[in-house]
Amino acid sequence: MKRLFQLRWLTAFWRGESALLHRNGYELPVSQCIVAHKDENGHPKFLSTIMREISSDKTRAEQLKLLEHAFNHIGEAVYLISRHAQLIQVNKEACRLLGYDQQELLTLSLEDIAPDFNTQVWTDFCRTAQNQALSKTFETTLRCQSGVLLPVEVNLNHIIYHDQPFIMALVRDISERKRMENLLILREREFRTLADSLPDPLCRYDCETRRTYINPAWLKSGGIIDDVLGKTF
């Protein structure tokens, strides 16, 4: 602090943050203005200072930093959207997911990144959500900066801040899940193609020994499909 006051003689005015040593031994953060007063000959005469204790401001600032850190390190992409479908805030995962930097992404609207976006549907949802505090989950596709369409799961939540409505969208990439679903469909088709062509009767069971499939050869052997599907041994 002594060094700080010595510097003020040279600059005549200073504003910033410093700390005072409390009688209990801890440092107390303060916002401070220091003014150097000089006599008629320009020589240093005295200093005056105005201080404001800012420990609560520091606490709030740390809380905001923590929230920002958490916002940018969760695994899901987060998009804060206005009722006019403009992107207001996004986290790092949202940028990574679509291949944009944050500044560029915040110039876009839902219409720019969502091929299935419908203005009337969006307006109706915002109106209904505001009245009933609705949450909605669905699957759709988003357009990446590269033009690739990415399958995603979206959870929309309506929030109010300073009497203004916003929509928070939590978005998850489901391309791997879709790939596995399509692979299962393909494998099922391959199985049925093979099983349907077998000359011998074939029956498939689930984990609870219920029959889930019988091939044409089984029917030709005298079985009735309604009597066996879904039944156990």
Same domain flag for 76 and 162: yes
Instruction: Locate 83 and state its tokens.
Output: 């009722």
CA 13 from centroid of its chain's CA atoms: 45
Residue with tokens 């009735």: 224
Same domain flag for 138 and 203: no
Same domain flag for 39 and 123: no
Taking alpha carbons only, the member of 2, 4, 12 closest to residue 46 is 12
Residues for the chain: how many in total?
233
pLDDT tens per residue across span 67-119: 777 777 788 999 999 989 999 999 999 999 999 999 999 999 999 999 999 88
Please indicate whether residue 14 or residue 80 has the higher confidence score (pLDDT). 80
SS3 content of the chain, % helix, strand, coil (to 5): 40, 35, 25
Instruction: Locate 127 and state its tokens.
Output: 């109106």
- In this predicted structure, the answer to whether residue 4 has a pLDDT above a threshold of 60 is no
CA 87 from centroid of its chain's CA atoms: 12
Same domain flag for 155 and 193: no
Helices and strands in the chain, H and E counts = 9, 10
pLDDT tens per residue across span 118-138: 888 888 888 887 766 678 899
Domain carrying residue 131: 71-173
- In this predicted structure, the answer to whether residue 139 has a pLDDT above a threshold of 90 is yes
Specify if 65 maps to a domain.
no
Per the structure, the count of domains in the chain is 3
- Check residue 224 and give its pLDDT: 62
Instruction: Please count the CA atoms within 13 angstroms of the CA of 233 that sit on its side-chain side.
Output: 3
Same domain flag for 115 and 165: yes
Cβ burial of 107 (10 Å; 0-12, 13-18, 19+) is exposed
Instruction: Locate 181 and state its tokens.
Output: 């679903």
User: What's 27's domain CATH number?
Assistant: 3.30.450.20
Same domain flag for 90 and 167: yes
Taking alpha carbons only, the member of 72, 70, 5, 59 closest to residue 32 is 5
Specify if 62 maps to a domain.
no
Specify if 61 maps to a domain.
no
Same domain flag for 19 and 51: yes
Same domain flag for 41 and 86: no
Instruction: Please count the CA atoms within 13 angstroms of the CA of 32 that sit on its side-chain side.
Output: 17
Same domain flag for 197 and 148: no
Helix or strand run (H / E) with residue 39? none
- Check residue 6 and give its pLDDT: 53
Please indicate whether residue 156 or residue 5 has the higher confidence score (pLDDT). 156
pTM, full prediction: 0.62
- Check residue 183 and give its pLDDT: 92
Same domain flag for 108 and 151: yes
Specify if 87 maps to a domain.
yes
